[in-house]
Amino acid sequence: MIRKLLGVFICLLLIFTAIISATGKTNKSNNEDTLEYIINNFDRYPLPPPMSVDMILEESICRRMSIRSYTGEAVTDEELSTILWAAYGVTENGNRSIYNPDGTYSTIIYVIRSDATYKYVPEDHSLSLFKSGNYLYIGQYDTVPIKFGLVWDMDVESDELIGMADIGMIGQNIYFDANALDLGTVTTGGGVQELNDLGLPSNEKPEIIMPLGHLSTPYDFTYDPRPGSNLPEIINNTFTLEDSINNRLISNRWDNMPLSDIEQSQLIWSSYGYSYLYDNINNKWHRTPPSAVGIYPFKIYAADQDGVYEYIPSTHSLSTIIQDDRREEINNSIGSSNMWIDSATWIIIPFYNTDLSPQYLTWWYYENGAIIHNILLEATALSLCANVIYDITNEAGLRSALGISSQTNLIPLSVVPVGNQFSNPNNPPEKPEINGPTSGSAGTSYDFTFNSIDLDGDDVYYYIVWGDGYIEDWEGPFPSGEDFEIAHTYSTIRTYTIEAKAKDIYGDESLWGTFEITIPKSRASTYSWYHIFFDRFPIISRVLGLIKV
């Protein structure tokens, strides 16, 4: 009977091998195991290439609005692909569509459809099957064909402020591209805990759900900017949303050259202003970031070489608080060792007002992310460089620097410096050379060396992505050209790509260096692959269980 059981298993294996061949997934080297390939790839579904969306960035920001009435019409795979890439995909230069200064991208996007729920895999722009069955009942708006469950992975990023800021950036891009494709979405918290019905791991916290669907009533806007006061009227630049995502300009140091009035106006408006389009359906002007509970609890402050200002969104104006250069005091209150904030010429600081709905604090983290994201995109469209700091070491000192010491109800969640990139010549480090074993055993520690030469002789830091979810976050500094050695252990059988880049003490970064190590299968692992196979394909296990031995 054992022979019979083995024969059934081999037949099933041949069937699955034929399926893989028929779907074109045959890019296997001769030494790779077919069963392992099935296990790793059978539930992976490549998305079609994203469509090009040519809506101008400022128009995308102005058209951002929440939709609460949908038809049941299907969303195409091309539309879904386009929105997922904008939300969290990999850009043309290898960055992500949103910006995290530490590289800890801790969001998981669950794509809920009527047939199954999938995870979005940004690295190869695909969907990975997570759970079969229809879970569209989760959350609100049951008529939509797709819902995005945005989940914070606490193992990747321990700070919920940073995790939710990332989700705010993702949500903003979903809004932008959905609108450009005549689809709609809304940020919701109702029923978010129902995402646990999917069987999420304990390290994943559900944060928001965004439905995606066709509008019951089409968009209807009229160009009608609200009257401004002492800032120039908002204009359209030439960059599209896609251009700004692909060409995001990040810097740690700026050239101290003052910005023009229109540049300051565009940047401060993008953070928290009003649309220049009037929504004829809802009879209102929308704000540039969303608010999940209909409250806008932030106050936006800005500083340049001439003073400190409060932004008044209702009149698109600046109210002067201090006529003095306070950038050095701002820099000192933050305590960043790797950023010259006092060289930035427009520093935007969102403060959360704790007097307004403190019970929704994590939602304000989300809104803070949307604010930051808008500024980064608008800075890129203006050919300016920006960055973001979350770790504010002296909140009281920052309030004092801005002249608002008595307003202890205001809590700064981030600081966004903007300006022209530092123009003094500085060469970034060369791409790191990585050395170490090219194969090994699971559970064994191996030493790897990283070496980058900085042409200016500056010390360098190393950022290392091990390929298994672990990251070394800017280790250093180390002398240029000297080996940096560090050990790492891989626990799972597969091939890993190690990626590393270097940056000098001025924040200029190298290109990525790569290195592969294979943790091969051994005879001792026969038991484990047998169980992995039947765990992945339980129906086969049930069929075989009917065979009496």
In 64-191, which ranges are continuous DSSP H helix? 77-88, 160-180
Distance, in Å, from the CA atom of 518 to the CA atom of 33, rounded to the nearest integer, reads 13
Neighbours of 232 (CB within 10 A): 15
Q: Which two tokens stand for residue 39?
A: 């296990």
Residue that is written with structure tokens 């579904």 in the block: 45
Are 416 and 342 spatial neighbours (Cβ–Cβ below 8 Å)?
Answer: no
| Among candidate residues 165, 128, 170, the one with its CA nearest the CA of residue 148 | 170
CB atoms within 10 A of CB 380: 22
What does the pLDDT read at residue 6? 43
Checking DSSP bridges between strand 146-153 and strand 433-435, what pairing results, if any? unpaired
Other beta carbons within 10 Å of 530? 12
Structural contact between residues 494 and 520, judged by C-beta atoms closer than 8 angstroms = no
* 253-267 as b/e: b if 16+ CB within 10 A: bbebeebeeebbbbb
Decide if 522 contacts 442 (C-beta within 8 A).
no
- Token readout for 87 is 């939300």
221, 420, 433, 516 from 513: Cα distances, Å: 48, 28, 6, 11
- Is 83:150 a contact under the CB 8 Å cutoff? no
| Tokens read off for 214 | 């066709």
Q: pTM of this prediction?
A: 0.76
CB 525 within 8 A of CB 487: no
Provide the pLDDT for residue 70. 96
* In the block, residue with structure tokens 């891009």: 173
Q: What tokens were used for 15?
A: 């069937």
CA dist 350 → 92, 112, 371, 432 (Å): 30, 33, 8, 37
For 54-69, letters b (16+ CB in 10 Å) and e give ebbbbbbbbbbbbbee
Backbone φ/ψ region at 381: left (φ over 0), alpha (ψ -120 to 50), beta: alpha
Among 314, 299, 296, CA closest to 364? 296
The separation between CA 16 and the C-alpha centre of its own chain, rounded to angstroms, equals: 35
What domains can you pick out in the chain, each with its CATH number?
2-33+525-545 (no CATH), 59-214 (3.40.109.10), 221-419 (3.40.109.10), 433-520 (2.60.40.10)
* Phi then psi dihedrals of residue 85, to 5 deg: -65, -45
* Distance in angstroms (rounded) separating the CA atoms of residues 549 and 546: 9
User: CA 393 to CA 350: how far, in whole Å?
Assistant: 16
- Return all residues near 169 (Cβ < 8 A) that are at least 6 apart: 98, 99, 369, 370, 372, 373
SS in 3 state form for 430-477? CCCEEECCCECCCCCEEEEEEECCCCCCCCEEEEEECCCCCEEEEEEE
Sign of CA dihedral 137, 141, 146, 152: negative
* Bridge partners (DSSP) listed for residue 286: none
Residue-by-residue pLDDT tens, the chain, 549 positions: 444 444 444 444 444 444 444 444 334 333 334 444 444 456 889 999 999 999 999 999 999 999 999 999 999 999 999 999 999 999 988 899 999 998 899 999 999 999 999 999 999 999 999 999 999 999 999 899 999 999 999 999 999 999 999 999 999 999 999 999 999 999 998 899 999 999 999 999 999 999 999 999 999 999 999 887 899 999 999 999 999 999 999 999 899 999 999 999 999 999 999 999 999 999 999 999 998 677 899 999 999 999 999 999 999 999 999 999 999 999 999 977 678 999 999 999 999 999 887 777 888 999 999 999 999 999 999 999 999 999 999 999 999 999 999 999 999 999 999 999 887 677 889 999 999 999 999 999 999 999 999 988 889 999 999 999 899 989 999 999 999 999 999 998 999 999 999 999 888 889 999 999 999 865 444 434 444 444 444 444 444 444 333
What is the C-alpha separation between 147 and 113, in angstroms, rounded? Answer: 7
- The closest alpha carbon to 402, from 304, 313, 315, belongs to 304
Q: Of 408, 436, 445, 431, which Cα lies nearest the Cα of 510?
A: 431
C-alpha span between 52 and 59 (Å, rounded): 16
